[in-house]
Structure 1
């Protein structure tokens, strides 16, 4: 994970069919993303668990939602945390979409 433009794959849950069975997720790519590390926590009380956080910056109109998962270029899967925040500014004419993500291992 670095501070360079990357392509991320958005994996979106497919919902359920009329019997309540899960449908396959759909996937699409978002290009030109910047990924910035945002820290981590370690839980060692009766378990070995690490929670890593990062922030993804993409185009303001990037198709990313709160229930999506992101697959980064290195193949790691991350959960979107909360609603992506979209900003338009005179300093960034194209605008930016800020997506908080986290990954729990262990």
Structure 2
């Protein structure tokens, strides 16, 4: 299943590379063309690896296939980033303060 993992990591790397290019160029037509091709590659990868997957991996891949529109929402809506780093960064100060103060203990 290492090969399956590598295949999906390559797909995810492709997503971030192309999203970064879109942010730089703002070429919506090129992005939508790429997104259409990507969806095809993703469907092909899922259909290739699901029959070969172990129970744990099968569960994950099946969820990716059935919830494809939710997981890959940004493909159809490039104004939405493919990650939630902004949300994580906005919480970072609160997490750091909690760690410095010894946690969120109740007395």
Larger % of strand: which?
Answer: 1
TM-score (norm 1): 0.22
Determine which structure has more spread, i.e. the larger CA radius of gyration.
Answer: 2
User: Structure 2 length as normaliser, TM-score?
Assistant: 0.22
